[in-house]
Amino acid sequence: MSPTIGVVTFPGSLDDQDALRAVEVCGMTPKPLWHGSDSIEGVDAVILPGGFSYGDYLRCGAIARFSPVMDDIIRRAEQGMPLLGICNGFQVLCEAHLLPGALIRNDVRTFVCRDQLLRVETEDTVWTNAFTAGQEISIVLKNGEGNFQADPETVRRLEGENQVVFRYLQGNPNGSVNDIAGITNERGNVVGLMPHPEHNVEELTGPTLDGRGFFSSVSRFLERVGV
């Protein structure tokens, strides 16, 4: 039986259906999760998708962080459940303090949409173990508030403890400190990034299939732990 990956839909989610499709294309079982639910029973991992949860009012991800479903997600993630936050999902993870730092307005003051070259900085996470450190991949990027910032001590810790997962290449699209495109928690089960791997799993919708590595990574991990 294949692993079941839940994808949360918040009011204003944009890429939840794309994420569900990517899970299926990559050989796992997708399960929609509703923001108002108080349980994620029956899933082995969770994806927080891109979009504009709650209209991005207050701050991006700030209201979604208090959705009922997040209580169980936070509890399970702290116990080791794989959790991936994509774009707005990354913002939610930061607001929930599952990842450090914050995402602010792009320094170019415009919405950026392009194919983005990334370097994989570490393969030692649940979501990147199918890649190799130093590998260059191309993933769709689309955001207006993707500028990752943190205080200097936090940045030093992320860099020093191998928690930077992806870095922008060939130009920084949004002003993120140290060209950081994605990070992980200390345990390696929670990853957040601004680019959208769910758009790079089929030839019809992306110029590369590099996004499949995220899904094969979590599948490999879950198989290894006996799911």
CATH number for 168: 3.40.50.880
Number of structural domains found in the chain: 1
Task: Give which of 195, 198, 199 is closest to 180, Cα–Cα.
Answer: 195
196 is catalytic: yes
pLDDT band at 138 (very low <50, low <70, confident <90, very high): very high
- Looking at the chain, the whole-number percentage of residues with pLDDT higher than 90 is 96
Residue of 95, 121, 123, 198 marked active site: 198
Structural domain that includes position 168: 4-225
199 is catalytic: no
Residue of 35, 95, 196, 199 marked active site: 196
Decide: pTM greater than 0.95. Answer: yes
What confidence tens digit (pLDDT) does each residue in 178-222 have? 999 999 999 999 999 999 999 999 998 878 999 999 999 999 999
Residue of 26, 35, 60, 87 marked active site: 87
* pLDDT of 1 higher than 80: no
What ranges make up the beta strands (E) of 10-135? 29-34, 45-48, 83-86, 102-104, 112-120
